[in-house]
Amino acid sequence: MTVVVGVGALSADEVVSVARHGAQVSLSPEALKEIARSREVIKALATDVKPHYGVSTGFGALATRHIPNELRTQLQRSLVRSHAAGSGPEVEREVVRALMLLRLSTLATGRTGVRTETAEAYAALLNAGITPVVHEYGSLGCSGDLAPLAHCALAVMGEGVVRTADGEKKPAAEALAAAGITPVVLEEKEGLALINGTDGMLGMLVLAAHDLRKLLRTADIAAAMSVEGQLGTDAVFAADLQAMRPHPGQGDSAGNLRSLLADSAIIASHAGPDCTYVQDAYSLRCTPQVHGTARDTLTHAELVASRELASAVDNPVVTLDGRVESNGNFHGAPVAAVLDFLAITVADVASISERRTDRFLDPARNRGLNAFLADDPGVDSGHMIAQYTQAAIVSELKRLAAPASVDSIPSSAMQEDHVSMGWSAARKLRRAIDGLGRVLAVELYTAARALDLRAPLTPAPATAAVRDGLRATVEGPGTDRWLAPEIEEAVQYVASGRALAAAESVTGSLV
């Protein structure tokens, strides 16, 4: 598909398509018209005797210096070179593509004052699969993601290092030449326009939200298998009970659990008056409340992302009536806060998942199953250490839940004296979501073994389909085997969406 970048907002799906799946991009005729129109405003200011920030002055704490005409190309080039100061490991290709696309989207609004050829160069790099090398450290989240964006601008200039479409690391000049792309010689205001945005943290928020939406449905699947495998009840998920506390996410999660557990012979086997258990443990009974909180948090984060996708973030900006005004819209606070909020809920969903898993392994709590689900406890250890792995990840997620956005460190000689740390919040959220997927995979892996051990009782059609899908690559109960490859198979089963698809082949679309 081709994503058309216009003066309006990109959708989250369009960002994912370009960032992760290599979709092509093109600028709309309206965007090209607006870019050209605002460029005329900047050209007029370039000859003005009055200083204008970013056009005829230095930057940050150096904004008081007036720059003569003959040094302004050097000014923009020097800005990009000096700000491309990242360090550490390379950032993932999908993140760099997302931030380049989002910077292009802001350029396309016509509010930045760049030339059309500069915007078209960004589209050309994306379409050629050329990805600038961006480093882990360097952004304070204000003025936006300066260093990461500067590394991208450097590549557009034909400088720095990039990865080609096949992953080869090359000097940017060579890669651009091979792709037939002419490096851009930046003019007034352009260097500033290319580096002044929240595009890195926003791109990571969009990607994280996309992945988390799928994982939260998978969390309901794993929880349903645990409720069933531990002889829990589905009665607590009844719609009228959930409606007494009308949080939307809670209702959605409970609805999923009802669908997933429908027609379970295991649950029916102990649902009569002879059952002596009054209440399930919180980790089973309160699943909709915890999973629902994460859903509602994600909905709020998606709302913030949609607003940011509709924003034109630069400083200064060219207004619709032709003024050029300084502003503070580059501050990443709105994005940083929800990135941290998501990390908190991710840790909580992982924590309750680990508690459900642990109950399977304790014969005092698992209602008749062997210790650690082992074939011969004592000789075999079963899933004992799989839960250790899960617990180690959960502990890491609790540390990652400490918010980055409450931190700030002054920079630029105290001109930039309060920063958002949104890039850091986004980086830790990516790690947290990876961890959540692994934690859920271990729960699903363990619950599937328990469902097998409940035979001849049969699970619900939906949970049976999920278990059977896992059994295509992971054997059922037996004597101890090397667990690491099986855990990784379960991780891939979750991450690929196959576990979700197996459940939905019975239930229809979960919410």
Active centre residues (catalytic): 53
Pairing of the two strands 87-90 and 135-137: antiparallel
Task: State both tokens at 478.
Answer: 């037996």
282 Cβ partners below 8 Å, 6+ apart?
A: none
Tell me if residue 318 falls in helix, strand or coil.
Answer: strand
For residues 196-234, one letter each, b for 16 or more C-beta atoms within 10 angstroms of the residue's C-beta and e for the rest, the string is bbbbbbbbbbbbbbbbbebbbbbbbbbbbbbbbbbbbbb
Task: State both tokens at 489.
Answer: 């198979």
As a three-state string, the secondary structure of 330-358 is CCCHHHHHHHHHHHHHHHHHHHHHHHHHH
488 Cβ partners below 8 Å, 6+ apart?
A: none
102 Cβ partners below 8 Å, 6+ apart?
A: 10, 15, 197, 199, 202, 203, 309
Pairing of the two strands 169-171 and 135-137: unpaired
494 Ramachandran zone, left/alpha/beta (phi>0; psi -120 to 50): alpha
Task: State both tokens at 157.
Answer: 């200039």
- Type of residue found at 219: A
Full DSSP string of 60-76: GGGTT-B--GGGHHHHH
- Type of residue found at 365: R
Tell me if residue 242 falls in helix, strand or coil.
Answer: helix
Residue pair 458/265 in contact (Cβ under 8 Å)? The answer is: yes
In degrees, rounded to 5, the angle at the alpha carbon of residue 490 between the alpha carbons of residues 484 and 495 is 125
